[in-house]
Amino acid sequence: MELIKVGEKTYYIKNPVNIGVYKINDEEVYLIDSGSDKDSGKKILKILNENNLKVKGIINTHSHADHIGGNKVIQDRTNCKIYAHGSEKEFIKYPILEPTFLYGSFPFKDLENKFLEAKESIVSDEELPLDFTYFPLKGHSFDMIGLKTSDDVCFIGDALVSRETIDKYNLFFLYDVDEYLKTLNFLENLEAKVYIASHCEKATSIKELIEINRKKIEEILEVITNLCQEKITFEDLLEKIFEHYDLVMNINQYVLISSTVKAYLSYLINNDKVKYEFIERKMYYSKV
């Protein structure tokens, strides 16, 4: 891990989740996200210390565990403020909400793992720092935000998924398909010198990647619609989707993909492409 300069004041730390670093002055920085766990947080602090930099605050693009996992250790060691937007604040303050939301009820112990539930941290009630321009990037999460620095670098969280991830997994987590498609439309008109998505290489253009993401969404909508040609229960539909994309079933994948498939079903139902009905105490989906 190292500081990579991408602007006059802006750096990032290349990581499984890229960490933004913005210099307020010669000594202080804001972080954009904090990595997946306390080890990530410790490594970030080590790099900053080697460069004689201190953390003034952390701005979380959203509340997923891999973006807030370093919050607690960094906050404990620096007493920095943590900022987020909208409902993301509550998920950061109470991380049990994430596995609860994904599972749909109180999570059993196997769901309380670091991939789904970070350590809690204290989120500031103050407005987001004025050093940046912010914009909503809904769809992947409830109230995810992106931000642009004064030197024209955009951090866009999980608003785009890399080609490599799409090729490998096909399905990626979404909360709201309609809002995600609107986010893709917004990103097409977002101008910047450099774009940094959390799980992608830095880029000077994101138009091709936007289209790759959009086409995959359209493909998955078609796959689900076709699987609903005849009446099908959710569990059978989920099984066929895992089979279609050759995905491995484990507890994390189960809750993430099942939640995502429900998001697609909501989109299809709301757009009169799929309907639901109850037959002999079971819920079935079918194409309209």
- CA 21/CA 74 separation, integer angstroms: 14
**Span 38-59, mean pLDDT?**
97
- CA 99/CA 111 separation, integer angstroms: 6
- CA 31/CA 74 separation, integer angstroms: 10
Task: Report the CATH number that the domain containing residue 276 is assigned in CATH.
Answer: 1.10.10.10
**Span 153-160, mean pLDDT?**
98
**Span 84-108, mean pLDDT?**
98
Going by pLDDT thresholds of 50, 70 and 90, the confidence category of residue 54 is very high
Query: Residue 104 CB: number of other CB atoms within 10 A?
Result: 11
Last residue of a domain, one of 215, 230, 264: 215
Going by pLDDT thresholds of 50, 70 and 90, the confidence category of residue 28 is very high
Are 87 and 224 within one domain?
Answer: no
Are 192 and 97 within one domain?
Answer: yes
> What is residue 244's predicted lDDT score, i.e. its pLDDT?
97
Count structural domains, the chain. Answer: 2
Task: Report the CATH number that the domain containing residue 165 is assigned in CATH.
Answer: 3.60.15.10
- CA 121/CA 95 separation, integer angstroms: 9
**Span 256-260, mean pLDDT?**
98
Sign of the torsion angle spanned by Cα atoms 117, 262, 167, 145: negative
Is the predicted pLDDT of residue 152 greater than 90, yes or no? Answer: yes
Q: What is the residue-averaged pLDDT of the chain? A: 97
Going by pLDDT thresholds of 50, 70 and 90, the confidence category of residue 78 is very high
Are 251 and 153 within one domain?
Answer: no
Are 236 and 109 within one domain?
Answer: no
Q: List the one residue out of 231, 222, 227 whose CA is nearest residue 275.
A: 231
What is the bridge-based pairing of β-strands 10-13 and 133-136?
unpaired
Last residue of a domain, one of 173, 196, 215: 215
The tens digit of pLDDT for each residue in 240-249 reads 999 999 999 9
Helix, strand, or coil here: 13? Answer: strand
Is the predicted pLDDT of residue 228 greater than 90, yes or no? Answer: yes
Is the predicted pLDDT of residue 270 greater than 90, yes or no? Answer: yes
Are 15 and 118 within one domain?
Answer: yes
> What is residue 264's predicted lDDT score, i.e. its pLDDT?
98
Are 203 and 149 within one domain?
Answer: yes
pTM: 0.96
- CA 133/CA 148 separation, integer angstroms: 5
Q: List the one residue out of 65, 62, 17 whose CA is nearest residue 43.
A: 17
- CA 68/CA 88 separation, integer angstroms: 11
Are 137 and 238 within one domain?
Answer: no
Are 186 and 79 within one domain?
Answer: yes
- CA 6/CA 41 separation, integer angstroms: 21
- CA 40/CA 226 separation, integer angstroms: 42
Going by pLDDT thresholds of 50, 70 and 90, the confidence category of residue 14 is very high
Are 235 and 133 within one domain?
Answer: no
Last residue of a domain, one of 187, 215, 243: 215
**Span 150-161, mean pLDDT?**
98
> What is residue 41's predicted lDDT score, i.e. its pLDDT?
97
Is the predicted pLDDT of residue 1 greater than 90, yes or no? Answer: no
Are 199 and 87 within one domain?
Answer: yes
> What is residue 2's predicted lDDT score, i.e. its pLDDT?
87
The domain containing residue 132 runs over which residues? 3-215
Are 282 and 208 within one domain?
Answer: no
**Span 26-47, mean pLDDT?**
97
Query: Residue 103 CB: number of other CB atoms within 10 A?
Result: 17
Is the predicted pLDDT of residue 226 greater than 90, yes or no? Answer: yes
Three-state SS for 216-258 is HHHHHHHHHHHHCCCCECHHHHHHHHHHHCCCCCCHHHHHHHH
> What is residue 186's predicted lDDT score, i.e. its pLDDT?
98
Contact 84, 60 (CB under 8 A): yes
The tens digit of pLDDT for each residue in 157-195 reads 999 999 999 999 999 999 999 999 999 999 999 999 999
Are 229 and 114 within one domain?
Answer: no
